[in-house]
Amino acid sequence: MSTPEHDHAHAPVQQTAPAGYYEIMETAVRELLIEKKLITAQEIRRQLEVLDSRNPALGAKVVARAWIDPDFRQRLLADGRKACEEVFDISFYDDTQLIILENTGKVHNLIVCTLCSCYPRPVLGLPPDWYKLKPYRARAVVDPRSVLAEFGTEIPADVEVRVHDSTAMVRYMVLPLRPRGTEDYTEEQLAALVTRDAMIGVVPVQAPRSAP
């Protein structure tokens, strides 16, 4: 079923700045959908608040808990989404599943979305631009060790590197190795060490500077 594209192609071309054109389109689409009662302004406002509430600090809390609580770790590895929902009250607003990939002395995990930009947004917020751009998406699946090297990460040759390609329905997050020298750390102190990039898998969690 096709609709005439002519009006669409011609009418809005009398715009000024190119960036303004797409902002105008976004505003117009949103307002039309609200006028037609297909969506509400309140839903947009609420979702903006949800987006603002999601950032890597949330994922870091999950990781820190998994490091100190073996039962939680098991639950998390069994069903990432359920564990995050039940224990941390994190809503999976995009209705995606979450698989937690545990790094070990033998396996290092890396996440990517070769087709677009799928990412564990409920726990990490929005992805960095480089995650969405061609070099990372194209190369991570075939040459992960040199991709990692560009992030300054060298994985020993006897450690397997596993790359996980995300989909619209299934998202991944890396559970990094707990660094040495953090045995006495509190959960909050541990969480503060965990970075977004460590949960993508491009860097390890760095040991604290005072560590032996």
Partner 1 sequence: MTATRNLVERLPNDIGGLPADAITRVEHELEPWEKRCHALADVLDFRKLINTEEKRAGVESLGSELVGKLTYYERWIVAFANLLFRKGHLIPSELALKMQEVEARLNGEKTGG
Q: Is 162 left (phi over 0), alpha (psi -120 to 50) or beta?
A: beta
The structure tokens listed for 87 are 């224990």
Position 168 contacts partner 1 (CB under 8 A):
yes
Specify the residue, 8 or 106, whose C-beta has the smaller distance to partner 1: 8
Of residues 128 through 147, those in contact with partner 1 by CB under 8 A are 128-130, 132-139, 141-142, 147
Q: Which positions ≥6 away from 2 have C-beta within 8 Å?
A: none
Alpha carbons within 13 A on the beta-carbon side of 106: 0
Residue 28 lies near partner 1 (rule: CB under 8 A) = yes
The sign of the CA dihedral 146, 148, 154, 160 is negative
Kindly state whether residue 7 participates in binding partner 1, applying the rule CB under 8 A.
Answer: yes
Of 56-64, 77-85, 99-107, 161-169, which segment contacts partner 1 by CB under 8 A? 161-169
Residue 209 has what DSSP assignment?
Answer: T
Q: Which residue out of 53, 91, 116, 146 is catalytically annotated?
A: 116
How far apart are the C-alpha atoms of 146 and 153, rounded to whole Å? Answer: 9
Enumerate binding residues for partner 1 (CB under 8 A).
Answer: 1-8, 10-12, 15-16, 20, 22-33, 36, 38-39, 43-44, 47-48, 50-51, 93-95, 112, 114-118, 126, 128-130, 132-139, 141-142, 147, 150-151, 165, 168-169
Catalytic residues: 113, 116-118
